């Protein structure tokens, strides 16, 4: 056809070559991370960085897991679970009002909330820090929940409102004829039918909050209250020279999401894309 | 609800049902509005208020200084250098990420079966926290123990080895490289979705008319992606203006401010120099810069919705 044989062969070679090249670019840093985590501190200084570990030594993992790592982990799970549940409920309620209720300022208020997506959270940092101190919540896991839920709301309300607008009006009418009020319609019709939208916002916000750094860094200060991203920070502050131990912490911190990813890649990719696109 | 009168009024009970319905929107919106008012709107306003004080954040000796902090900000070279770095970050994010992401999207679009597993693996960096990546790449770039210099040495380019993060000439570039490394797959997936939405029968028809794959790409698929590319540019610029975590972890804004961004500069003023007042001015200034640039961008590129 129109393309010359040379061009076609070049095309056929370029695809796997480029595909594998980027695979290397992506995996090399991870390879370095995992390989180093199996080395002793001594080994990491003396042998070449790219030498395989002498033995599959789990000593770094053991020592990290015996330390406060699990406390960080527990805090992360607690903060993220509570926040995500609240985000789902609160944004679904607001989305229901925006999608299906007629009231004054509906559009204006919706626009205002959605505009919240563009606010850089850094401007809220100092006032929230001062407010948290005043509320007596400073250095507690609960200090994080308010900012986490609030900063996730604009995007979540936006996604869910779009979603709920697609739910057929007939279902709502039928429920109303059965004598359901707004609350029954919300809980019995809209919430169950919003499953895919809710799972999108749960995945997106779950991952974002699991990785969140700055609020956690500013609003908590002790090991007992800090979340996983701070585990990395605290370890690297304490053991600057022990590269294998620090990379072990990095590996362990990333593991939960990698495991989750192994089970639901498509859903996670979709959720991350939807969240970031609209956010 | 949409229509209050559809429900038959049944005397007194109807009255309460009506008032319940009148208040229903308020009840459904209250939690969201309350939280946003407390954790987003109030802090926004409070930041501007604090920007007019001289205060170390500890005592009650906050001193009202009016617009002094703002005058200081206007002539604060460090702030404008940081803002400039944000703009460089935005510029290079777009210039580096978009072409590579587009090439990869086309490659995966043609890769057939292998594309799924590659896409999944490429996407991994996006799941990592920026602290994890920051620490990982800090060691990756390490001058003596870092694998990057070792790699350069290995391929005979040892003379290119550098103190990547410790050298004012390279620090910002080194950090931008990590940002690109993490986000290229994101834009790749975005472009793949755009390519997938290109109607197959149109490219079939073009092929029958003798058009080559290359022609189809440049003349038909690329124009089809225009909206997606615009969305990608807006996202990456806005992201670059608000960047903090990765840079804070990798360089702290250094050396000598070489990789300082507006957000890291704000953080340093507040939590290292304890100038809460001036730090709030920096934060508010950053807010204004972000909103200005974002609204200009949005004006020039109507946001296109892309289904993934």
What number of C-beta contacts closer than 8 Å exist between A and B?
A: 283
Is the Cβ pair B129, A228 closer than 8 Å? yes
More confident call, A80 vs A10:
A80
Confidence of residue B292 (pLDDT cuts 50, 70, 90): very high
Nearest to A94 among B29, B185, B270 (CB): B29
Is the Cβ pair A233, B46 closer than 8 Å? no
Residue B14 has pLDDT above 60, yes or no: no
Chain A residues with CB under 8 Å of B120 CB are 261, 265, 269
CATH topology of domain A62-278: MetI-like fold (1.10.3720)
More confident call, A211 vs A42:
A211
pLDDT score at B7: 43
A12-22 confidence digits (pLDDT tens): 787 788 889 99
A193-208 confidence digits (pLDDT tens): 999 999 999 999 999 9
Q: How far apart are CA A151 and CA A142, in angstroms?
A: 15
Residue B18 contacts A, CB cutoff 8 Å: no
Nearest to A123 among B24, B284, B308 (CB): B284
Nearest CA in chain B to A30: B136
Q: In sequence order, what are the residues at sequence separation of 6 or more whose Cβ sits closer than 8 angstroms to the Cβ of residue B50?
A: A126, A127, B276, B277, B280
Q: How far apart are CA B19 and CA A1, in angstroms?
A: 73
Confidence of residue B187 (pLDDT cuts 50, 70, 90): very high
Nearest to A1 among B36, B104, B212 (CB): B212
Chain B residues with CB under 8 Å of A87 CB are none
CA dihedral B112, B113, B118, B121 (to 10 degrees): 150
Residue B40 has pLDDT above 90, yes or no: yes
As annotated, the residues of chain B forming the CATH 1.10.3720.10 domain(s) are: 68-300
B41-56 confidence digits (pLDDT tens): 999 999 999 999 998 8
Residue B1 has pLDDT above 50, yes or no: no
Nearest CA in chain B to A176: B7
SS in 3 state form for A85-101?
HHHHHHHHHHHHHHHHC
CATH topology of domain B68-300: MetI-like fold (1.10.3720)
- Please compute the mean of the pLDDT values over residues B261-281 and round it to a whole number: 92
Confidence of residue A278 (pLDDT cuts 50, 70, 90): low
Chain B closest-CA separation from residue A209 CA (Å): 9
B95-120 confidence digits (pLDDT tens): 999 999 999 999 888 877 778 888 89
Nearest CA in chain B to A257: B127
The share of chain B scoring above pLDDT 70, in percent, equals 91
pLDDT score at B147: 86
Residue A139 has pLDDT above 70, yes or no: yes
Q: Is B45 exposed, middle or buried (0-12, 13-18, 19+ CB in 10 A)?
A: exposed
pLDDT score at A14: 79
pLDDT score at A279: 52
Q: Is A112 exposed, middle or buried (0-12, 13-18, 19+ CB in 10 A)?
A: middle
Residue A257 contacts B, CB cutoff 8 Å: yes
**Which residues of A, range 174-203, sit inside 8 Å of B by Cβ?**
176, 181-183, 185-186
Is the Cβ pair A101, B28 closer than 8 Å? yes
Residue A56 contacts B, CB cutoff 8 Å: no
> Domain map of chain A by residue range?
1-28, 62-278
Residue B21 has pLDDT above 70, yes or no: no
Is the Cβ pair A232, B139 closer than 8 Å? no
Residue B123 has pLDDT above 50, yes or no: yes
**Residues pairing with B54 in the sheet:** B63
Q: How far apart are CA A188 and CA A179, in angstroms?
A: 12
pLDDT score at B283: 95
A66-80 confidence digits (pLDDT tens): 889 999 999 999 999
Is the Cβ pair B294, A261 closer than 8 Å? no
pLDDT score at B10: 41
R_g of chain B computed on alpha carbons: 26
Residue B24: closest CA among A90, A182, A190, A92: A182
Chain B residues with CB under 8 Å of A232 CB are 129, 131-132, 135
Confidence of residue A7 (pLDDT cuts 50, 70, 90): low
- Please compute the mean of the pLDDT values over residues B128-145 and round it to a whole number: 91
| Least confidently predicted of A4-8, A69-73, B245-249, B293-297 | A4-8
SS3 assignment, position A274: helix
pLDDT score at B304: 46
- Please compute the mean of the pLDDT values over residues A102-129 and round it to a whole number: 91
Nearest CA in chain B to A16: B111
How many C-beta atoms surround the C-beta of residue A183 within 10 A?
14
Nearest CA in chain B to A152: B36
**Which residues of B, range 91-150, sit inside 8 Å of A by Cβ?**
103-104, 107-108, 110-111, 114-115, 118-132, 135-140, 142, 145-147, 150
Are residues A173 and A248 in contact, defined by beta-carbon separation less than 8 angstroms? no
Peptide bond into B255 cis (omega under 30): yes
Chosen from B4, B37, B40 to mutate, greatest number of chain A CBs within 10 A: B40
* pLDDT mean across residues, chain B: 86
SS3 assignment, position B259: coil
Residue A2 has pLDDT above 50, yes or no: no
Alpha-helical runs (H) found in chain A? 5-37, 41-46, 59-66, 69-100, 106-115, 122-134, 142-165, 169-177, 182-185, 191-193, 195-210, 214-219, 228-238, 243-263, 265-278
Residue B278 has pLDDT above 90, yes or no: yes
More confident call, B9 vs B21:
B21
pLDDT score at B80: 95
């Amino acid at each position: 056809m129109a393309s010359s044989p040379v061009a076609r062969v070049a095309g056929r070679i370029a695809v796997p070559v480029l595909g594998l090249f980027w695979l290397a670019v992506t995996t090399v840093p991870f390879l370095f991370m995992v390989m180093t985590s199996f080395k002793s501190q001594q080994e990491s200084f003396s042998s070449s960085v790219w030498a395989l570990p002498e033995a599959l030594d789990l000593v770094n993992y053991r020592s990290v897991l015996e330390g406060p790592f699990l406390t960080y982990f527990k805090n992360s799970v607690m903060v993220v679970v509570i926040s995500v549940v609240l985000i789902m409920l609160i944004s679904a309620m607001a989305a229901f009002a925006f999608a299906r209720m007629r009231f004054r300022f509906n559009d204006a208020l919706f626009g205002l909330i959605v505009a919240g997506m563009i606010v850089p959270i850094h401007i809220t940092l100092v006032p929230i820090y001062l407010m948290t101190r005043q509320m007596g919540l400073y250095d507690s896991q609960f200090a994080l929940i308010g900012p986490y839920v609030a900063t996730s709301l604009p995007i979540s309300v936006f996604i869910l409102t779009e979603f709920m607008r697609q739910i057929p009006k007939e279902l709502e009418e039928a429920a109303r004829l059965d004598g359901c009020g707004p609350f029954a319609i919300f809980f019995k019709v809209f919430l169950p039918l919003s499953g895919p939208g809710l799972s999108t916002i749960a995945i997106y916000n779950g991952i974002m909050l699991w990785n969140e750094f700055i609020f956690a860094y500013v609003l908590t200060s002790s090991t007992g209250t800090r979340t996983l991203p701070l585990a990395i920070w605290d370890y690297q502050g304490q053991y600057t020279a022990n590269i294998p131990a620090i990379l072990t912490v990095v590996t362990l911190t990333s593991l939960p999401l990698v495991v989750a990813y192994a089970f639901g890649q498509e859903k996670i990719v979709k959720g991350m894309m939807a969240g970031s696109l609209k956010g | 609800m949409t229509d209050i009168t559809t429900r038959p009024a049944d005397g007194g009970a109807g009255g309460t049902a009506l008032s319940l319905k009148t208040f229903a929107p308020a009840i459904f919106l209250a939690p969201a509005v309350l939280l946003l008012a407390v954790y987003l709107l109030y802090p926004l306003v409070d930041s501007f208020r604090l920007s007019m004080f001289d205060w170390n954040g500890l005592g009650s000796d906050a001193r009202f200084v009016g617009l002094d902090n703002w005058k200081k900000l206007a002539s604060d070279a460090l702030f404008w250098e940081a803002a400039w770095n944000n703009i460089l970050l935005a510029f290079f994010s777009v210039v580096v990420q978009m072409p590579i992401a587009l090439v990869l999207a086309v490659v995966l679009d043609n890769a057939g079966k292998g594309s799924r597993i590659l896409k999944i693996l490429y996407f991994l960096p996006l799941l990592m926290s920026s602290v994890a990546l920051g620490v990982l790449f800090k060691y990756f770039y390490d001058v003596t123990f870092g694998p990057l210099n070792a790699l350069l040495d290995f391929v005979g380019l040892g003379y290119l080895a550098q103190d990547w993060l410790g050298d004012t000439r390279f620090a910002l570039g080194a950090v931008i490289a990590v940002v690109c490394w993490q986000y290229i797959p994101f834009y790749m997936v975005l472009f793949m979705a755009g390519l997938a939405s290109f109607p197959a029968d149109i490219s079939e028809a073009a092929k029958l008319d003798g058009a080559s794959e290359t022609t189809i790409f440049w003349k038909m698929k690329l124009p089809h992606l225009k909206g997606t590319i615009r969305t990608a540019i807006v996202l990456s610029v806005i992201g670059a203006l608000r960047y903090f975590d990765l840079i804070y972890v990798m360089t702290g804004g250094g050396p000598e401010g070489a990789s300082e961004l507006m957000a890291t500069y704000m953080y340093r003023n507040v939590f290292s120099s304890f100038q809460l007042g001036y730090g709030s001015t920096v934060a508010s200034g950053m807010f204004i810069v972000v909103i200005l640039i974002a609204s200009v961008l949005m004006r020039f590129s109507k946001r296109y919705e892309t289904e993934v």
